[in-house]
Amino acid sequence: MSNIFSGANSPQFNDLVAQLGHFGYGCLLVVIPALYRAPAWLGPVMVLGWSLPKEFLFDIFVEKQTALDGLKDFAFYVLGLGLGLLLLALR
**Start-to-end Cα distance in the chain:** 39
So what's the pLDDT on residue 11? 82
Of residues 30 and 8, the one with the higher pLDDT is 30
So what's the pLDDT on residue 13? 84
Mean pLDDT, range 25-49, rounded to an integer: 93
So what's the pLDDT on residue 4? 55
So what's the pLDDT on residue 21? 95
Q: How many other β-carbons are positioned within 10 Å of the β-carbon of residue 61?
A: 9
Asked if 26 contacts 76 with a C-beta cutoff of 8 angstroms, the reply is yes
Band of the pLDDT at 24, cuts 50, 70, 90?
Answer: very high
Domain parsing of the chain, residue ranges? 29-90
